[in-house]
Amino acid sequence: MTKTPSTTTGSWIACHECDLIHRVRPLPPGGKAGCVRCGAVLYQNKRNSLDRTLAFVLAGLTLFILANSFPFLALRIGSQVRQTTLITGIQELYLQHMQAVAILVLFTTILAPLFQMICLLYILLPLRVDRTPLRLPLVFRFVHSIQPWSMMEVFMVGILVSVVKLAKMAQIIPGISLFSFLALIFVLAAMTVSLDDHLIWHKWETR
pLDDT band at 10 (very low <50, low <70, confident <90, very high): low
Residues 89-112, mean pLDDT to the nearest whole number: 89
d(CA 64, CA 54): 15
d(CA 130, CA 203): 9
Q: Evaluate if residue 145 carries a pLDDT over 70.
A: yes
Residue 69 phi/psi, 5° resolution?
-115, -15
| pTM for the full predicted model | 0.79
Please state, rounded to an integer, the average pLDDT across all residues of the chain: 84
Q: Nearest to residue 108, comparing CAs of 146, 57, 77?
A: 146
d(CA 65, CA 204): 31
**176-194 and 112-128 are packed helices; what angle lies between their axes, rounded to 10 degrees?**
50
Lowest mean pLDDT among 1-10, 20-29, 105-114, 165-174: 1-10
Domain ranges of the chain: 1-45, 46-206
Q: What's the pLDDT tens digit per position in 117-129?
A: 999 999 999 998 8
